């Protein structure tokens, strides 16, 4: 019995040393190979899980249609804001422009969240079937449909990548809030085709007319597909259903991408900032095709 035990311990030590050695050399290749072998099975399970979440296929199709329509409308609102900002930039004759140098890489999503063995928590992330060979690098923003941001590339292998969703606990995105009243103003001024008067007396008025009040805050991931709003000034107005978009203040994400909408804003006397929940503009269970923003130039806001 002693010899058997001794053999087992020797076997254990040999395998452990081998694994530690492999970790430094082949870890990424082993992961890439495993993902390539299990991609098909994981994709089937991913789609099956999505279908099972709903009572029947009709309900799934309806939900998908409504989600896509909602995303389109939110994207249109963010486009409107972007156009107004660009008008202001041009009018003020700034030399800094908004770069359109972006390429989109299309990818398929498979694989749900991952268990985080370091801190025994659950990671909100998805896998996609594109990697280093397709030009993807760590940190690239990832969107779905038109302009809905879902996260960023956190790990890259040869043929696969992992996307950390904005709902993950480690995710923080600087955002700008557009209250509903301002959106209606913008739509009115846009449809009336109001041209700003170039005389100096009315310049201040024109700036106020076209310039949205930029309220910058932070969208903090809470895990389990929840996002909370942080560092929103207490003295500013925060409405229910206000649109939340990315701001390029920190340079991590390009400006004008939809995050979601505000829900239940509240003021707590003992807190320095207003608090609210952000309803994400995407449903993780319905993510199928994603787009990775490659070579994007981020223009930092003042």
Partner 1 sequence: MIKGITKLLVSAILLFLIIVLQSSIFPLGYLGFILGILFVLIFNLIEKSSSYSGVFVALWAGILIDIYSSSFFFGFYSIILMALAIIIKIVISKYVRIP
Interface residue list for partner 1 (CB under 8 A): 1, 4-5, 8-9, 11-12, 15-16, 19-20, 22-23, 27, 30-31, 34, 38, 41-42, 45-46, 49, 110-118, 122-123, 224-225, 284-285
Least Å from the CB of residue 62 to partner 1: 20
Least Å from the CB of residue 290 to partner 1: 15
What is the chain's alpha carbon radius of gyration, rounded to the nearest angstrom? Answer: 24
CB-CB neighbours of 284 under 10 Å: 18
Nearer to partner 1, 41 or 187 (CB): 41
Nearer to partner 1, 7 or 295 (CB): 7
Nearer to partner 1, 44 or 267 (CB): 44
Least Å from the CB of residue 154 to partner 1: 10
In 86-181, where do the E strands start and end?
103-110, 114-116, 121-123, 125-128, 141-144, 148-156, 161-165, 172-178
Nearer to partner 1, 153 or 175 (CB): 153
> In the chain, which ranges are continuous DSSP H helix?
2-25, 27-52, 57-91, 180-191, 203-210
Long-range Cβ contacts of 47-50 (<8 Å, 24+ apart): 49/112, 49/285, 50/285, 50/286
Least Å from the CB of residue 9 to partner 1: 7
184-222 burial, b if ≥16 CB within 10 A, otherwise e?
eebeeeeeeeeebeeeeeeeeebeeebebeebebbbbbe
Nearer to partner 1, 20 or 93 (CB): 20
Nearer to partner 1, 168 or 174 (CB): 168
Least Å from the CB of residue 24 to partner 1: 9
Burial class (CB in 10 A: 0-12, 13-18, 19+), 237: middle
Nearer to partner 1, 159 or 239 (CB): 159
139-148 burial, b if ≥16 CB within 10 A, otherwise e?
ebbbbbbbbb
Least Å from the CB of residue 21 to partner 1: 9
What are the tokens at 280?
């994400």
Least Å from the CB of residue 204 to partner 1: 51
């Amino acid at each position: 019995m002693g010899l058997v035990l001794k053999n087992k311990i020797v076997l254990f030590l040999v395998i452990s040393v081998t694994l530690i050695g492999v970790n430094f050399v082949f870890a990424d290749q082993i992961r890439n190979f495993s993902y390539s072998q299990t991609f098909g099975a994981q994709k089937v399970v991913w789609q099956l899980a999505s279908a099972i979440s709903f009572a029947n296929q009709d309900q799934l199709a309806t939900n998908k249609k409504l989600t896509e329509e909602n995303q389109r409308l939110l994207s249109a609102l963010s486009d409107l804001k972007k156009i107004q900002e660009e008008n202001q930039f041009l009018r003020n004759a700034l030399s800094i422009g908004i770069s359109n140098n972006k390429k989109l890489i299309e990818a398929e999503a498979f694989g749900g969240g991952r268990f985080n063995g370091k801190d025994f928590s659950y990671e909100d992330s998805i896998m996609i079937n594109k990697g280093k060979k397709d030009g993807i690098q760590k940190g690239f923003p990832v969107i779905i449909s038109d302009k809905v941001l879902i996260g960023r590339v956190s790990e890259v292998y040869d043929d696969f990548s992992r996307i950390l969703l904005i709902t993950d606990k480690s995710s923080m995105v600087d955002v700008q809030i557009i209250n509903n009243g301002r959106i209606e103003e913008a739509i009115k001024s846009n449809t009336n085709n109001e041209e700003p008067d170039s005389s100096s007396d009315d310049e201040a008025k024109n700036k106020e007319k076209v310039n949205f009040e930029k309220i910058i805050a932070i969208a903090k991931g809470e895990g389990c597909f929840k996002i909370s709003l942080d560092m929103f000034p207490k003295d500013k107005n925060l409405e229910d259903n206000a649109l939340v978009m990315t701001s390029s203040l920190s340079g991590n994400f390009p400006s004008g991408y939809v995050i979601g909408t505000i829900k239940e804003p509240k003021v707590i006397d003992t807190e320095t900032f207003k608090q609210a929940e952000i309803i994400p503009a995407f449903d993780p269970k319905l993510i199928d095709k994603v787009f990775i923003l490659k070579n994007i130039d981020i223009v930092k806001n003042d």
